[in-house]
Structure 1
Amino acid sequence: MAVELNYKELVKKLKVLASDKDVDLADDPVCQALSNETPADIALALEQLPPEEAGRIFTTFGDPLAAEVLAKLEPKLSKNILGKLPEKQMANIINILPPREAAILITEAPQKQADSYVENKDANREVLQEVDARLIYANGSAGRLMTTHFVKLHVGSTVGEAIEEIRKTDPDIDLPEDIYIVKKEHKKNDRLKGVISIRGLLMADPRQKVEALMAKEVVSISAIAKEADAAALMAKHKFMTLPVTDKDGYLVGVIPADDMMQLTIDRMRSRYAKAVGTDAEAMEQLTPFQAAKKRVPWLLGTMFIELMAGTVISHFDGVLKKVILLASFMPVISAISGNVGLQAAAITVRDVDSGSAERKDLWPSIRKEAATAILMAAVCGFVLGVIGAIWSKHLPFGIVIGGALICSMLTAGMMGTLIPVLSKRLGFDPATTAGPFETAFQDVVGFAVFLWLATLLERFIA
């Protein structure tokens, strides 16, 4: 509980400092606010601030503190901060970190910053080796998550030799706990033969061969597999590490559980924030003026599309004057269709932003929603058509009402499904665009079909 309170209190202090434009953040106030605070608490506090303020405060840190804090920040914020750091300072910070943590930051950094470090003559060779091993594989793959810094033993080693090998490792560098047993093949390639834990080694006779103790049925994952598959394997088997193999089955690295947990938590936070189609954290950080500026253009676009609906209505002014009852059903058609569109938009946005709906998987969701819209439109159109026929005492009037509702609902369902997909592909926020445009288009199409049918059947319904 004390840790939670400390980090929350620190957030308040930093918000006050960051909001005061007259305070020199390189001076005493920040130093006092951060005194006796752990890098983890500082990272948690910075993540609660708008990116600009977090970056402004970060620039006041000395390189040692900056390195520790940067390694603990969520990827999105660390990438933002790295993108604004001078190249020399970034290189200094990276060189302070252990190779594994440094490689994680570089592979997540903006391309320009990553290239500048790789080309820096003072770059850490171990870090570059780790970065090169990761960058061979695509972003989002298991290979991009793995580390090449782990303890491996060759077949034939004794327990005593294994323990001695572990003692030679740098105690300041965090290494995965599992030890992998390999057999050298084709010069540098290691064939994975088994795995054993440090505890297993410590409890065994130092003279025993590791082959007698190791687990020989080792679950591994291909380096080109998806990171989600790696996470599923680790969770299912409760592994502390997961070995990664290349296309030929040779061991190329391991994924530590703590790295995977951090990544999974960050993904979950991001997807939760986008569950309704927008980045809630980013929206919370906007001022009212910024939020309005972001949303007003789409509302103005909706206004102009709705004016088209007004033009359609004025074009059929004659039939409305003759059959006043038509006007009574227009709000009903608009409201029902609007709800269909909003439901379709919410479902599609969830699929788009959850990460489960990739491009190849999205069309089945669209087809399913289209089929659902057709069934709902048929039922609602029939019911409203019957009500219209009874109310007006004219069957053609009911046909007009039912047909118009069906067309309007289908349009709303289609727009509510397609607009979020197109918005996402074009780089816009689906939640900001889906609602306004879906409503506008279904009004234009719904009213046009409604009044066109009414005009065709005017002599039967007047």
Structure 2
Amino acid sequence: MQDVENQTAPEVPAFRDDGGNVSGAFAALVSQAVTTGDAASLRALVSDLHEADVGALIEALDSGERPRFIELLGEDFDFTALTEVDDAVREEILEEIPNEEIAEGVRDLEVDDAVYILEDLDEEDKAEVLDRLPALERVALQRSLEYPEDSAGRRMQTQFIAVPPFWSVGQTIDYMRETEDLPDTFYEIFVIDPGYHLIGTVPLDKLLRSKRPMKIGDIMSEDQHLIRATDDQEEAARLFQRYNLVSCAVVDVSNRLVGVMMVDDIVDVIEEEADEDLKALGGVKGDEELSDTVLYTVKSRFPWLFANLITAVLAATVIAFFEHSIERMVALAVLMPIVASMGGNAGTQTMTVTVRALATKELHRSNAWRVIRRELAVGATNGLAFALILGSVAVGWFGIRDLGIVIGMAILTVLTTAALGGILIPLLLSRFGVDPAVSSGPFVTTITDVVGFFSFLGIATLWFGLS
């Protein structure tokens, strides 16, 4: 019989594969532990993983295994991992976990992470979870949940260090050393008056370099950046980006200090907002995830496709108007898609730049006309260049010299119009309070298609007398 002591435990495969994803071998081991209910093996596999890696692992498991995975880990499961998964996956998991377990899981989380989880629950479950929390934690979470969705109040942490200006540096340092309930991470000390109004800040490096007897009020900086709790999270992200901040105080309508936003929260905000804008430009809802059901995805994409169907019908109507001209000169039918495609691409280029500039506040009323003139000049210049290129191609292809002139004039017209429409439509939509990222596409497509077909076929009809 082989000596048991000489046996070695099987080697655990690497968590990540060469592509940086959860390796199939590691996920299979975890899945096996979940299926067999082997909690000890499961804890050994995931105990050293970061919460972001645990979130990736949860997404790699089958939907039926995810609640069991959390149940087997019990108290060892860090609910912060649920902030790292897709919204659809998180909602699916929360539906399977009893409210008392959710309440126990969010008790040790920072307020912003707890809010991120609780906001996915329906009102009844949310109220039950909150009722199971200690009073202080419940009040903090309720206050954050009362702020508008996507606001700074939902993203802020309510734990921070605030001291009066008459404290000394030594007193402040001793306070931080002796107090157990401090934030896990902080970069500055906030200085407040008796009404909790923020009057200054002291970075940790400055605090540690100052002599112990010095007063906080003497070393604090009064030049501070503030975020209102009701501000949109995108506005907060721009403030961090503009001034290279790592943390920033959050105040209420009375300018009282209520929280702090950290740079790690802002990184998530920037990623979210960029993701939403990119999806919106492609006609996809900003909250669509790869884990969404087929039915939800179909409902999300159908309206955009329907809008594009209407624009296509309108463009087809223009073509039908020149049916007789197309019958008499087949070359027009061959060249039409080129004109429409060039106009659509030019319009999309301008629209994408404009929508992004509006989102980042780089484009505003004071510089709008300058940017419009620039885009118009770009469209006209590209139009002239491609008029020469396509005109030469048309002449060489069909041997009709005048056809090169016709398509050249049409390309110049459509590229200039596309540039103008690509910037004016998002500006007008933004002016009327409509999200240009979501709504610009169908309008720009309609203009470029209609103008492209109408200009090319109309000029050809007049030039060659095809009517």
Q: Same fold by TM-score, threshold 0.5 exceeded?
A: yes
Match of 2:345 in 1: 342
Q: How far apart are 1:29 and its partner, in Å? A: 6.4
The one of 27, 30, 33 equivalent to 2:36 is 27
The one of 364, 375, 379 equivalent to 2:384 is 379
Output aligned runs, 1:71-150, within 5 Å: 73=84, 76=87, 80=91, 84=95, 85-95=97-107, 97-98=108-109, 101-107=110-116, 109-110=118-119, 112-113=121-122, 116-118=125-127, 120-135=130-145, 137-150=147-160
Q: Is the 8 A contact 1:220 1:245 kept in 2?
A: no
Q: Is the 8 A contact 1:184 1:190 kept in 2?
A: yes
- Give the letter for the 1:92 counterpart: E
- Give the letter for the 1:44 counterpart: D
Match of 1:64 in 2: 75
Q: How far apart are 1:381 and its partner, in Å? A: 8.0
Change (3 A) 1:403 1:305: same
Listed one character per residue, the Cα deviations across residues 62-89 of structure 1 (whole Å, up to 9, x for unaligned) are: 4433334436626857854575344333
Q: How far apart are 1:221 and its partner, in Å? A: 0.7
Q: Is the 8 A contact 1:140 1:226 kept in 2?
A: yes
Change (3 A) 1:12 1:448: same
Distance in 2 between the 1:203 and 1:295 partners? 59
Q: Is the 8 A contact 2:249 2:260 kept in 1?
A: yes
- The alignment's C-alpha RMSD in Å is 5.5
- Give the letter for the 2:126 counterpart: Y
Match of 1:261 in 2: 264
Determine if the alignment matches structure 1 residue 151 to structure 2 residue 161.
yes
Report how many residues are paired: 435
Distance in 2 between the 1:6 and 1:94 partners? 26
Distance in 1 between the 2:121 and 2:295 partners? 32
Q: Is the 8 A contact 2:418 2:444 kept in 1?
A: yes
Q: Is the 8 A contact 1:334 1:443 kept in 2?
A: no
Change (3 A) 1:361 1:179: same
Distance in 2 between the 1:318 and 1:438 partners? 28
Q: How far apart are 1:90 and its partner, in Å? A: 1.9
Determine if the alignment matches structure 1 residue 37 to structure 2 residue 46.
yes
Match of 1:252 in 2: 258
Q: Is the 8 A contact 2:163 2:172 kept in 1?
A: yes
- Give the letter for the 1:243 counterpart: A
Match of 2:224 in 1: 219
Q: How far apart are 1:180 and its partner, in Å? A: 2.9
Listed one character per residue, the Cα deviations across residues 285-311 of structure 1 (whole Å, up to 9, x for unaligned) are: 689999999989977987897677667
Q: How far apart are 1:61 and its partner, in Å? A: 1.1
Match of 1:183 in 2: 193
- Give the letter for the 1:341 counterpart: G
Q: Is the 8 A contact 2:16 2:23 kept in 1?
A: yes
Match of 1:356 in 2: 359
Listed one character per residue, the Cα deviations across residues 129-155 of structure 1 (whole Å, up to 9, x for unaligned) are: 323443454444444433332222234
Q: Provide the TM-score with structure 2 as the length reference.
A: 0.66
- Give the letter for the 1:88 counterpart: E
Q: Secondary structure at the match of 2:15?
A: helix
Distance in 1 between the 2:80 and 2:449 partners? 52
The one of 6, 9, 13 equivalent to 2:15 is 6
Q: Is the 8 A contact 2:191 2:200 kept in 1?
A: yes
Match of 2:8 in 1: none
Q: Is the 8 A contact 1:340 1:373 kept in 2?
A: no
Q: How far apart are 1:264 and its partner, in Å? A: 0.9
Q: Is the 8 A contact 1:183 1:190 kept in 2?
A: yes
Change (3 A) 1:427 1:159: closer
Change (3 A) 1:29 1:353: farther
Q: Is the 8 A contact 1:107 1:135 kept in 2?
A: no
Q: Provide the TM-score with structure 1 as the length reference.
A: 0.67
Q: How far apart are 1:352 and its partner, in Å? A: 4.3
Q: How far apart are 1:219 and its partner, in Å? A: 1.7
Listed one character per residue, the Cα deviations across residues 25-81 of structure 1 (whole Å, up to 9, x for unaligned) are: 453368635524346535325337758847852552144333344366268578545
Q: Which structure 2 residue ranges, 5 or more long, are not aligned?
A: 1-12
- Give the letter for the 1:356 counterpart: A
Change (3 A) 1:353 1:93: farther
Q: Secondary structure at the match of 1:6?
A: coil
Match of 1:197 in 2: 204
Distance in 1 between the 2:434 and 2:104 partners? 37
Change (3 A) 1:28 1:161: same
- Give the letter for the 1:152 counterpart: A
- Give the letter for the 2:204 counterpart: S
Q: Which structure 1 residue ranges, 5 or more long, are not aligned?
A: none
Distance in 2 between the 1:235 and 1:415 partners? 30
